[in-house]
Amino acid sequence: MNEVKACIAWLMENVEDKQEALQKLESISEALQNLSVMAEQADEDLKLVLMFIENDGVLKRKTKKTIH
């Protein structure tokens, strides 16, 4: 987080056009949000793969009720 703050401070000090700096920061923010969404999806995918491996390669769905 400190690196992000340092980058923002550097941009605001060194970029002549402050509006351009803000646009760049917004672009970076959007890219980070996209990465966050992709990381969450990858985490869910990994959980599914691990469940598959734990079930010896048999696809099973976890349900709240047991069918007798």
pLDDT of 36 reads 94
In the chain, where the domains are located: 2-40
pTM of the entire structure? 0.54
The answer to whether 21 and 13 are in contact (CB under 8 A) is no
Side chain identity, residue 44: E
pLDDT tens sequence across 12-44: 788 788 888 888 888 888 999 999 999 999 999
pLDDT of 40 reads 94
Average pLDDT, the chain: 81
Distances in Å between the alpha carbon of 39 and those of 35, 48, 68?
6, 14, 38
